[in-house]
Amino acid sequence: MDFRLSDDQKALVGAANAFAAELSAKTDYAGDMPRDLWTLWGEQRWLGACIPEALGGMGHDALSTVLTFEAMGRAGVPRGQLFAVGAHLFGCTVGIARHGSDAQRENWCPRLSAGEAVGALAFTDPGGGSNLDACATAIRVEDDELRLDGSKTFVTNGAHADVFVVLAASDDRKPPFNLSVVLVPRDTDGLAIEPLQGVTGLHQTHPARITLTDCRLPADAVLGRVGGGMAVLLDIMRWERSCILAGLLGALERDLVATTGYLESRGSAEKAAAQFQAVSHALARVRVEIESARWLMYRAAAELDGDGGSLIFAAMSKLATSETLVECGLALQRLAAGHGWTGGLGLAEALNDAIGTLSASGTSEAQLNMIYSQLQREL
Ligand SMILES: Cc1cc2nc3c(=O)[nH]c(=O)nc-3n(C[C@H](O)[C@H](O)[C@H](O)COP(=O)(O)OP(=O)(O)OC[C@H]3O[C@@H](n4cnc5c(N)ncnc54)[C@H](O)[C@@H]3O)c2cc1C
């Protein structure tokens, strides 16, 4: 077991830092994520970091990809932007690259990797996202056509996505063999997109609700095969849960450093605030929590690069990382007090962004269900 980064990984982290600096110089960090920013991300193929080079990506493994997102977060790339790109890459492009037909891969992966198209994952029904095999979005196969009816919500990137990876269920098969995952292009007749209003945090992710009303698609729009959706769903979730929060974890580490610096500079001439043991210990604990989540995330990514067999590491990593983001974000806000709240350190905003991660890619309870079912198998 070697915990050090390889020379290639160090070079990649250096390239990610350079890209973050370029983004900072060319764009308004605090701003929105307009289409030309996607183009900028796509120019160097960061949008396809773990997509094979033959499909227009950079061809890196999952662990190296996680390292780059983490570095970008640490370098100050906005959390919402990193989350939007993560949903695009891990929730959409990876799914097409791993489960698509040659035609689907060739059609979508190069464009998604280059930022010429934006991707979204649409699994959550408005009636509830935790129980995905109770999916209410209907799929019917008629002659050579698929027909979809239903709606999806909380779709990250949904407001401006060009392609949606949609989960649907047929009523002629029993769960889990009723599920299919379908690629729905934005220009499909019967697809309506409604941006979600009033969300808390992660504002650059353009979440939307989509409605599918008798959408007709060719039979080859399905990812994998009709009725084979559960395996595709689990695989996409494994990638998303393992990787999507890497950038936010890097950003939390940046916030810890900034908060520590602030508390070292604050206080009386005799004693900085950080020198109170209650404060320094709280900062030290945040450091430990970040490190713990980081290694679980690396382990989950390494599982993806291995045989990818177990789902448990993705679930544990997602659980630990999202809860670390919220609990440590709250701890930093508490320590920085007014300066965190007023925006100088951006900690209240970070906490708002972190809250959504508790349910994105499945709630903590969904992860615990997955972890416990594995525990039962180990008896
Ligand atoms: C920032 C953000 C981004 C998102 N991006 C996307 C996206 O891109 N695509 C997408 O499809 N979805 C997305 N989602 C939706 C997300 O996947 C769902 O919020 C999540 O799966 C939970 O579904 P729900 O919100 O409908 O809650 P529900 O399923 O209604 O659950 C409500 C409560 O009941 C609990 N619960 C439900 N069932 C069980 C059970 N069996 N055991 C224990 N507890 C249970 C839940 O844990 C939760 O506390 C996003 C959500 C957020 C916040």
Distance 250 CA to ligand 1 centre (A): 24
The residue from 178, 199, 227 where one domain ends is 227
CATH number at residue 71: 1.10.540.10
Which atom belonging to ligand 1 lies closest to the Cα atom of 152?
A: 11
pLDDT tens digits, 138-193: 999 998 899 999 999 999 999 999 999 999 999 998 888 999 999 999 999 999 99
Q: Are residues 72 and 33 both part of a single domain?
A: yes
Give yes or no for residue 352 CB within 6 A of ligand 1.
no
Rounded to whole angstroms, the Cα distance separating 370 from 305 reads: 20
Which atom belonging to ligand 1 lies closest to the Cα atom of 362?
A: 21
Instruction: Identify whether 199 is part of a domain.
Output: yes
Q: Residue 138 is inside which H or E element, if any? A: strand 138-142
- Nearest protein Cα to ligand 1, atom 37: 130
Phi then psi for residue 130, to 5 deg, are -70, -40
Rounded to whole angstroms, the Cα distance separating 123 from 63 reads: 25
Percent of the chain exceeding pLDDT 70 equals 98
Task: Provide the pLDDT for residue 342.
Answer: 84
At position 151, the amino acid (one-letter code) is: S
Q: Are residues 112 and 133 both part of a single domain?
A: no
Q: Are residues 308 and 210 both part of a single domain?
A: no
Domain carrying residue 71: 7-118
Distance 148 CA to ligand 1 centre (A): 22
pLDDT tens digits, 262-317: 999 998 989 999 999 999 999 999 999 999 999 999 999 999 999 766 789 999 99
Which atom belonging to ligand 1 lies closest to the Cα atom of 369?
A: 42
Q: Are residues 52 and 69 both part of a single domain?
A: yes
Domain count, the chain: 3
Instruction: Identify whether 240 is part of a domain.
Output: no
Instruction: Identify whether 287 is part of a domain.
Output: yes
Q: Are residues 42 and 135 both part of a single domain?
A: no
Instruction: Identify whether 43 is a catalytic site residue.
Output: no
Q: Are residues 188 and 291 both part of a single domain?
A: no
pTM of the complete model beyond 0.95: yes
CATH number at residue 364: 1.20.140.10
Phi then psi for residue 110, to 5 deg, are -65, -40
Listed residue (330, 367, 324, 320) closest to 352, CA to CA: 330
Give yes or no for residue 215 CB within 6 A of ligand 1.
no
Give yes or no for residue 363 CB within 6 A of ligand 1.
yes
Distance 130 CA to ligand 1 centre (A): 5
CATH number at residue 159: 2.40.110.10
Q: Residue 169 is inside which H or E element, if any? A: strand 163-169
- Nearest protein Cα to ligand 1, atom 2: 360
- Nearest protein Cα to ligand 1, atom 12: 124
The residue from 227, 253, 287 where one domain ends is 227
Lookup: tokens for 322: 């999202």
- Strands 163-169, 119-122: pairing is parallel
Look at residue 115 and tell me whether its pLDDT is greater than 80.
yes
Rounded to whole angstroms, the Cα distance separating 379 from 376 reads: 5
Rounded to whole angstroms, the Cα distance separating 379 from 371 reads: 13
